[in-house]
Chains A and B, each alone.
Chain A
């Protein structure tokens, strides 16, 4: 298995772990709390803003650990540049991820249109965000293995 393929698998696992743990902790702390609509909006705004630096920092740390471990175990060097094939794969995968998030966003609007609670809309959007990230990496894995 090549470096890029392993990286995609590590990214999928780290995305699921980081987002899963973060939202589990948030839910444990605030899940049952009754809030006014204004408070709830503020809560979701903070929750979604806070995950951005946490996700970036966690992914950097996980990536460093993966690179060091991979180098020690397989002696395989990390590619030092992206060539044309890598760029095409990245672009196509990003397009797939945007499509997944787009459907998720439409679903979130649908949730509001059907009069469901605001919380459901935000949960829908977060799940769509996580799924789009996973789909991005799954697409990369697929294109690296099967060709593009």
Chain B
């Protein structure tokens, strides 16, 4: 639970997409706002399908939304 190797730029990407709210993003990818909050905070690693849906919403490659760190990020 405490360690996640996947980090993300969702907050920045939301800001650059007309300051999209977490609720708007949640509706576009079909999850609850709580899940977006958890992903942004690094408390949940999304499924591959959800990750692709998010990348599609931001119209950007997956690697720009999520990145994989070799060293686990300690919470």
A residues with a Cβ closer than 8 A to B are 2-4, 79, 81, 83-86, 143-144, 146-148
A83-B35 in contact given A146-B43, A147-B44, A148-B44 (Cβ < 8 Å): yes
B residues with a Cβ closer than 8 A to A are 1-2, 4, 30-32, 34-35, 38, 41-44, 46-47, 50
Q: Count how many pairs of residues, one from A and one from B, have CB atoms less than 8 Å apart in the complex.
A: 39
In the A-B complex, the 6 residue pairs with the closest CB atoms: A147-B43, A83-B31, A85-B35, A79-B32, A2-B34, A83-B35
Least Cβ distance of A108 to chain B in Å? 31
A99 to B42: give the CA distance in the assembly, Å. Answer: 28
Residue of B nearest to A82 (CB): B32
Select A146's contact among B1, B32, B46, B50, beta carbons within 8 Å. B1
A2 to B36: give the CA distance in the assembly, Å. Answer: 13
A129 to B31: give the CA distance in the assembly, Å. Answer: 32
A79 to B2: give the CA distance in the assembly, Å. Answer: 26
Residue of A nearest to B49 (CB): A84
A113 to B11: give the CA distance in the assembly, Å. Answer: 59
- Contact of B44 with A85 in the complex, beta carbons under 8 Å: yes
- A residues near B38, Cβ cutoff 8 Å: 85, 147
- Contact of A147 with B31 in the complex, beta carbons under 8 Å: no
Least Cβ distance of B45 to chain A in Å? 9
Q: A84-B47, A86-B35 are in contact. List 16 more A-B contacts (CB 8 A).
A: A3-B34, A79-B32, A79-B34, A83-B31, A84-B31, A84-B35, A85-B35, A85-B46, A143-B1, A144-B34, A146-B1, A146-B43, A147-B1, A147-B4, A147-B43, A147-B44
